[in-house]
Amino acid sequence: MVSAPDWPSNRAAAERLVRQAAGAGAGLVLLPEYFCLIGHADRDKLELAEDAGHGPIQDFLAALAAELGIWLVGGTLPVRGAAEGRVLNRSVVFAPDGRIAGHYDKVHLFAFDNGRESYDEGRVLEAGTEPVALQAGPLRVGLSVCYDLRFPEFYRAMMRPPCDLICVPAAFTHTTGEAHWELLLRARAVENQCYVLASAQGGTHANGRRTWGHSMVIGPWGDILDELPEGEGVVMAEIEPKRLDSVRTQLPALRHRKL
């Protein structure tokens, strides 16, 4: 997606894309980080914040998952936390009956300053505290968000037992994404011997920010199975249990871990 500063237009785009993916046979769909809003200022997301479990964004996602009968990982949305004037950047997972199956609050908060671009999520976000993996039908799915990608030990913590799929909704900057996005995604797939699904913001937004995009699905051998460089669209691939078993049997790295 290339999300805008207003929820209604983002809702329409998200619904269109989720329906497109489900219509093509997807059983699990992942939206990008901040699919619901990329505002003109960091604090814009405070006005869109919802209580845990209910609100216009969560109710929309629940209804869509139930109607289409899919697992829907709602990218991220702002949820009110304990800290005044801050929100949690939460990824909520909806089961095919519309119930909330689990959620993850972004642990690692992005900060970057190269003299031309400056970001500090800690000004508005409250950090989560722990990694999360859950069962989504036949798949064990690990949840992460954007900047988490730079912390390999974070993914190791969710790999007992191993995940079949890791989800990475993101809004990587163009600068950092061009340098490191694909490299980090493929590394996480290879070292954890699992599929990685990365749904990203990709394009120039109304606030002037340019995100890197390159949404992709990566196999457990590090091969890119589908990719969309920029703009609005869908990437898809089939998760093959036999492929997971083959990689982990031929190269039993997960069993060789010492830490």
* pLDDT of 217: 98
- 106 in catalytic set: yes
Q: Which of 33, 50, 121, 126 is catalytic?
A: 33
Which neighbouring-strand residues pair with 216? 198, 227
Q: How many other C-beta atoms lie within 10 A of the C-beta of residue 123?
A: 12
Which tokens in the block code for residue 162? 């191993």
Q: How many other C-beta atoms lie within 10 A of the C-beta of residue 228?
A: 16
Distance of CA 152 to the CA centre of its chain: 16
Which tokens in the block code for residue 210? 């340019």
- 33 in catalytic set: yes
* pLDDT of 259: 85
Mark out the alpha helices in 121-166 (DSSP H runs). 152-157
pTM of the model: 0.97
User: Mean pLDDT throughout 156-180?
Assistant: 97
Q: Which of 146, 163, 167, 194 is catalytic?
A: 146
Tell me the domains of the chain and their CATH numbers: 7-250 (3.60.110.10)
Average pLDDT, the chain: 97
How many residues appear in the chain? Answer: 259
To the nearest 10 degrees (0 to 180), the angle between helices 56-68 and 7-23 is 20
User: Mean pLDDT throughout 145-167?
Assistant: 97
* pLDDT of 150: 98
Peptide bond into 96 cis (omega under 30): no
* pLDDT of 159: 96
- 242 in catalytic set: no
